[in-house]
Amino acid sequence: MGIVSRKEREKEEMRQLILGAALKLFREKGYDGVSIRNIAEAIEYSPATIYLYYKDKSEIFFALQYEAAAVKRDHIMPVVEIENPWERLVEFGRRYIDFGMKHPDLYDLLFITLTPMESMENQECWKLGIATHSFFVETVQACVDARYFKSTDTETIAYTLWCHAHGLVSLFVRERMRMYPEEKREELARKSFAMIVKMAENL
Amino acid sequence: MGIVSRKEREKEEMRQLILGAALKLFREKGYDGVSIRNIAEAIEYSPATIYLYYKDKSEIFFALQYEAAAVKRDHIMPVVEIENPWERLVEFGRRYIDFGMKHPDLYDLLFITLTPMESMENQECWKLGIATHSFFVETVQACVDARYFKSTDTETIAYTLWCHAHGLVSLFVRERMRMYPEEKREELARKSFAMIVKMAENL
DNA sequence: AAAGATAATGAACAGTGTTTAGTAAATGCA
DNA sequence: TGCATTTACTAAACACTGTTCATTATCTTT
């Protein structure tokens, strides 16, 4: 273990230090509410130092987006163990929504925040998201193959279910449920999930 | 028509001038992409003049949010003429989605952008939104009363349908459909709307 | 210990939202 | 009409922002 490897390790530690501080601050104040100077202050370095590890603010954002995608994967992926495709699909939906409710900031990062155009090239993150999405579509396909639905339009079924789940979470995350009393919102979300499952049963 | 009324008229014209320029710029560059200086330059006044008509940038945002709510109302409200509640509900949904697709910037303003807390007190806008939402819920209630559904849980039915429509539009607006080729996205949205209508039929 | 590479920073640039002090023009009143 | 007052406007400043760069300090190699 030479000096170069120690240097690399230290460099990686510094990147994690920056990312950790950034995530904490982004959670509290949102992407636009946090400045490079804030992050620098949190880790007790000068603002210019940040630029030695990340080329600009958006690159910090993308690094976090990647981590968010990983958290989401870990939150949802246990469902691969479920062999029955219908049960797997329902549990996938439940966990997708649960992830969004438990990590609104990460969900926001992944599915709501408008990202600069470079995000396309951010292959690491994109690949992770595509993988989870593909698994979801494959599960729907498995349901179709097993004749769980009358319809055989896998793509539209998957998209429709995703629309519901995403709509549910994002109305929550972006606080568009103020017409419902706070303590009823989660219950309403649960009931709605149960309802879409019932609707999907005779789809 | 005295001098005071002319002054009031001129004041209102100035406010409209600011709002018009702001909307145009917000559409092009988004809320955060536009500065007070940009708006001032567009109307050929100094930045400080803006503050004589709006107390800060967020107040311009709220004024636009109100106008967006009015556009949405005008886009959707023709459905009050439809007497059959089920047909009225379906057409409401179609027009809601159509509004979102045609005016992504306004939809964003109304349902996605994180608004400061004062938005609660922005009663004008809030009232308009609540009115349209209430009309939607009442239409669902009319369907329930007319035994169009097996379920009688009006609140959950309304919320579930809203989740789907909002999810559909906001995935579109915030560009989370890159895994589908561009030319197929609208078709997919149409198919999904047809599917949720079918699902709702035997709800 | 000297030379070279690396890490960190202070200061600056151009931008932001917002406030204030001051000017110039329009108005009300004598 | 002439003068005082109100109104409309703005230049300049303040405290921020993301980002860059010349300079300094530290660590590594010879």
Q: Calculate the angstrom distance between C1' of C7 and CA of A121.
A: 30
Between CA B158 and CA A36 the distance in angstroms is 43
- B88 plus B39 within the same structural domain: no
Question: Is the CB of A171 less than 8 angstroms away from the CB of B166?
Answer: yes
Residue-wise pLDDT tens digits, A55-94: 999 999 999 888 899 999 999 999 999 999 999 999 999 9
Q: Provide, in whole angstroms, the distance separating residue A100's CA from nucleotide D17's C1'.
A: 31
Count interface pairs A-B at CB distance under 8 A: 108
Do B116 and B143 belong to one domain? yes
> In three state form, how does the secondary structure of B122-174 look?
CHHHHHHHHHHHHHHHHHHHHHHHCCCCCCCCHHHHHHHHHHHHHHHHHHHHC
Give the model confidence (pLDDT) of B62-72 as tens digits.
Answer: 898 888 899 99
| Same domain assignment for residues B182 and B105 | yes
Least confident among A17-26, A104-113, B153-162: A104-113
Does the pLDDT value for residue B1 go beyond 60? no
Out of A54, A69, A95, a domain closes at: A54
Please name which of A38, A44, A46, A45 lies closest in space to residue A22, comparing C-alpha atoms.
A38
A116 beta carbon to strand C: under 7 Å: no
Q: Give pLDDT tens digits for B6-28.
A: 677 888 899 999 999 998 888 77
Instruction: Provide the pLDDT for residue A127.
Output: 85
Q: Which CATH number is B187's domain given?
A: 1.10.357.10
Q: What is the pLDDT of residue A1?
A: 46
Task: Indicate whether A39 and A136 sit together in one domain.
Answer: no
Q: Which of A2-11, A62-71, A160-169, B10-19 has the lowest mean pLDDT?
A: A2-11
CA–C1' B8–D3 (A): 26
Same domain flag for A31 and A102: no
B97 with B47, same domain: the answer is no
Q: Give the domain CATH number at B4.
A: 1.10.10.60
Residue B37's domain comprises 1-54
Nearest to A110 by CA among A126, A90, A134: A126
User: For A151, how many CA atoms within 13 A lie in the half-sphere containing its CB?
Assistant: 20
If one counts the domains in chain A, the total is 2
A93 and A186 assigned to the same domain: yes
Same domain, B133 and B76: yes
CB-strand contact B56/C, under 7 Å: yes
Residue B156 forms contact with A (CB below 8 Å)? yes
B191–A156 CB contact, under 8 Å: yes
Same domain, A161 and A120: yes
Residue A36 CA to its chain's centroid (Å): 23
User: Does residue A146 register a pLDDT over 90?
Assistant: yes
Judging contacts by C-beta atoms under 8 Å, the chain B residues touching residue A133 are 179
Mean predicted lDDT score pLDDT of chain B: 90
Residue entry with tokens 């320029």? B21
> How far is Cα B18 from Cα A76, in angstroms, rounded to an integer?
47
Q: What is the dihedral of CA A176, B166, A199, A139, to 10 degrees?
A: -110
Name the most confidently modeled range: A27-36, A126-135, B111-120: A126-135
Tell me what pLDDT residue B2 has.
61
A97 vs A174, higher pLDDT: A97
CB of B195 closer than 8 Å to CB of A157: yes
Q: Cα(A172)–Cα(B30) distance, rounded to whole angstroms?
A: 22
Question: Distance between CA B147 and CA B203 in Å, rounded?
Answer: 11
Q: Clarify whether residues A93 and A138 are in a common domain.
A: yes
Mean pLDDT across A144-171: 97
Cα B172 from chain centroid? Answer: 15
Please check whether residues B6 and B74 belong to one and the same domain.
no
Q: Which of B54, B70, B93 is the last residue of a domain?
A: B54
Q: Which residue is nearest to nucleotide D29 (CA to C1')?
A: A3
| Contact state of B32 with A32 under an 8 Å Cβ cutoff | yes
Examine the domain organization and report whether B177 and B126 are in the same domain: yes
Give the pLDDT of residue B44. Answer: 94
Predicted pLDDT of residue A45: 94
Question: Beta carbon of B7 within 7 Å of strand C?
Answer: yes
Picking from B118, B173, B192, B197 by the largest number of A CB atoms within 10 A of its own CB, the best residue to mutate is B192
